Amino acid sequence: MELMEWPACTDEYEKLVIRMSTPRVVIDNAVCSTATIVKVDSARKHGILLDAVQVLSDLNLSIKKAYISSDGRWFMDVFHVTDQIGNKLTDESVLSYIEQSLCGIHSGKTNHSNGLTILELTGTDRVGLLSEVFAVLAEQQCDVVDAKVWTHNGRTASLIYVKDCNSGSRVEDSQRISAIEARLRNVLKGDNDIRSAKTSVTNAIVHAERRLHQMMYTDRDYQRNPIFKFPGDTPSVTVQNWAVKGYSVVNVQCKDRVKLLFDVVCNLTDMEYVVFHATIKTTSDQAYLEFYIRHKDGSPISSEPERQRVIQCLQAAVKRRACEGVRLELYTENRQGLLAEVMRTFRENGMNVTRAEISTIGDMASNVFYVTDAIGYPADPKIVESVRQKVGLSNLKVKELPLVCHQKAEREDQPAGVGGAVLLCLGSLVRRNLYNLGLIKSCS
C-alpha cells in the first residue's frame, strides 16, 4: 500500500486517528488453492461488516467461507472468495479495486445520483403494474436510465433513476415532480392499496440494494402471506440465546447464491443488531451461516415475539432476491418509451415481472427480467416465444440462471487464472467505477 500523504495542517493526533480508522486489507492468493483470501482489520463501528461485505457483493463474487470476529473495539474479517464460475481472482485491476474500496469503507461516502432523479415506489404487486409505471414515466417525458425492482409476498419495491427527455438531466421543476409522484401513487394504489402505496423522490442514495431491503422491511413484507408458495422454498432460520456469554445465536441454512451474505447482514444491521462473531460455510449448493449477535446496547434478544420477528425478517431477506421464473435478457438500442412497450407486451400476455434490473450503457439498453405467469409459476415457453417474436428474437433472449460452482472437479474444468473473467460478472455501476478509477480501459 502506498504511503499516505498528509496535508500540511494535519497534526500528529489527527494522523493517529486516521491511521486507526483506516482498515488494513490483505489479499492473498497463495494460502488457499481454491479461493482468494481477503482479510480486513479495522476499528469497530456499527455497519462496518455490512460495508465490507457490500464491496465484495457489488462485484458479484461468491463468498465460499467467512470468519468474522469483533469483540472489543476492533474487528477482523476473513473471506474466501471466487468469481461466479469458481475461479480464484487473478485480475490485478479487480484485486486493486477491492483493496481500495475496502480501505475506504470508514469514509461513509454517499453515492450521488449523477444528475438523475431517483423515484422510490412501494405497493401491492400485480400483473401489469410495471407496465403502468413505465407508461406514466414515458407520458411525463422521463427517460429511465437505471432501475431495480423486487417483489416478495405480494409486495413490490422499486428504485427508478430517471432523467428529463429534453434536458438530459434530473427533473428540477417541483410542480412536475409532484405531478409525477401523484400519477405514480394512483397507479400503485390500484383498487385495493389505498393506505400502503408510497412514492418519494430523492437525488442521493447510499446503496440501491440496501435501500430496497430497507423499503421492504419498512413495508413489513415479512408479515404478509405469499400469493403462491413453492414447496421447500423457505430458508431454515433458528434463533437461540447463549445466556452464559450474553449472545443470541442465529443460524441460517438455505440454498447458496451470490449476495446471500450481504442480504442477511444488511437486514441484521437495519434491525439494529451488531454481529460480534460469525462463521459462513458452503457445501455443494447449500449455505450455512451462524451469527452471534446483540443489540447495539449489548443485550441479547429478550422475548419470544422478537425472536419470531428475527426469523421472519431473515427468511424474507433471503427470499427477496430469489430468482423465481424465467430469466429474460433484453439488449437493444435504447429509445424513449422502450420499457413501456416491452412491459405492455408482457402484460398483454399475462406475464408478471417478479424482479428486474434495468440499465443503460451508452446508447444501449441492457435489461434483465424474471417473469412468471399470473399465479407464480414459470411462464409458459410458448408464451415466452410469442413475446420474443413481438419484441424481437435477437433482442430478447432466454438465459439460464448463473450457477455458483463449489466442487473442485467443476473448477478444474475451467481454465486456471482466467484474467478478466470476473469482469464479465460485474454490474454496469461497478464497471463504471473501475473505469473511473482508470483500472479498465472501457466500461462497455
pLDDT tens figures, 77-102: 999 999 989 999 999 999 999 999 99
| Distance between CA atoms of residues 384 and 219, nearest Å | 32
Cα torsion angle, 244, 247, 253, 257, sign? negative
Strands 396-399 and 273-283: unpaired
Are residues 313 and 222 in contact, defined by beta-carbon separation less than 8 angstroms?
Answer: yes
| pLDDT tens figures, 31-79 | 999 999 999 998 888 888 999 999 999 999 999 999 999 877 788 999 9
pLDDT classification of 420: cutoffs 50, 70, 90: very low
Phi then psi for 283, rounded to 5 degrees?
Answer: -135, 130
Q: In sequence order, which residues have a C-beta less than 8 Å from that of residue 251 and are 6 or more positions away? A: 236, 237, 238, 239, 288, 289, 290, 291
Q: What is the pLDDT of residue 166?
A: 86
Q: What is the pLDDT of residue 220?
A: 93
CA angle, residues 314, 309, 126, in degrees to nearest 5: 65
- Which of 10-19, 93-102, 181-190, 434-443 is the least confident region? 434-443
| Distance between CA atoms of residues 21 and 33, nearest Å | 32
Query: What's the mean per-residue pLDDT of the chain?
Result: 84
Instruction: Enumerate the β-bridge partners of residue 66.
Output: 79, 280
Residue 407 has pLDDT above 70, yes or no: no
Q: What is the pLDDT of residue 325?
A: 87
| Distance between CA atoms of residues 380 and 349, nearest Å | 10
Across the range 132-150, mean pLDDT stands at: 95
Q: What is the pLDDT of residue 401?
A: 52
Residue 424: Cβ-neighbour burial (10 angstroms; 0-12, 13-18, 19+): exposed
pTM of the model: 0.84
Residue 235 has pLDDT above 50, yes or no: yes
pLDDT classification of 273: cutoffs 50, 70, 90: very high
Strands of 24-28's sheet in order across: 24-28, 36-43, 74-82, 62-69, 273-283, 286-295, 247-255, 236-242
Q: Which set of grid coordinates corresponds to residue 231?
A: 414447496
